Amino acid sequence: MPHTTTSPAAPATPVELRPATADDTDAVARIWREGWADAHLGHVPDALAAARTPASFPERARERVADTTVAVRRGAVVGFVMVAGDEVDQLYVDRAGRGGDVGGALLRHAEHAVRAAGHPHAWLAVATGNAPGRRFYARQGWVDAGRFAHRAPVPGGTVEVDCHRFTSPDR
């Protein structure tokens, strides 16, 4: 079900949340690639950075269409969130759209989807070095449950990444 919210950064321009389609994969891949670099380069093991090639993002976006919700403003995808079980697996906002409520709207949507699927709480992993990401989730009321070794998927296996586990608040 689409959801519309208005961002404080652009009060006259609503943001619609809707399920992603195959037509959204190029935009999702671009936002994901740029956002992943901003949040992770220098904060994750070299093996993970090497696996996140420019070509890997379109492939991963196509594979994840079914569990992706996009935020759309004026007909353009400006952010997305992916949910896998009780995990908010990916959440990125276009560089030009950061600082408004697009990320918050996507996070609230993901939290609702996790609870609607019968899970009492949602969780997500944030690379320890990604201080802006950790501050964002804390501002949204999510709780930093501490550090853990997250096993990020890569072709042929996983790479262990030092992360913080954030959990959704009781609402």
Q: Label residues 17-31 b or e (16+ Cβ within 10 Å = b).
A: beebeeebbebbbbb
Say which DSSP state 66 is in. Answer: G
Pick the range with the lowest mean pLDDT from 54-63, 78-87, 98-107.
98-107
**Superfamily, domain 3-123:** Gcn5-related N-acetyltransferase (GNAT) (3.40.630.30)
Q: What residue type is 60 in one-letter code?
A: R
Q: Is 50 exceeded by the pLDDT of residue 11?
A: no
- Give me Rg for the CA atoms of the chain: 15
Model confidence at 171, pLDDT cuts 50, 70, 90, reads low
Question: Is the full-model pTM beyond 0.75?
Answer: yes
Q: Is 90 exceeded by the pLDDT of residue 102?
A: yes
